[in-house]
Structure 1
Amino acid sequence: MIGHLILRLVIWFLLTSDLSLVNIIIGVAIALLLPRGYTSPEKLKDWLDVIVKTLVAIPVAYMEAFEIIFRPHKQEDIILERVKSRRSPRLIFIDIFLITFTPKTIVLKYREEGWYEVHQIHRGKKQS
Structure 2
Amino acid sequence: MKILIVNTSDIQGGAARAAYRLHRALLNEGINSHMLVQSKVSDDYTVTGPFGKIPFDTRDLAAGIDWVLDTPDYAFLCANARQKVLDCFDSHHVANQRIFFTKKSFRKPAEDNKTEFATFR
TM-score computed with the length of structure 2 as normaliser: 0.33
Q: Which entry has the higher C-alpha Rg, 1 or 2?
A: 1
TM-score computed with the length of structure 1 as normaliser: 0.32
More relative contact order in 1 or in 2 (CA 8 Å, sep 6+)?
1
Choose between structure 1 and 2: higher helix proportion.
1
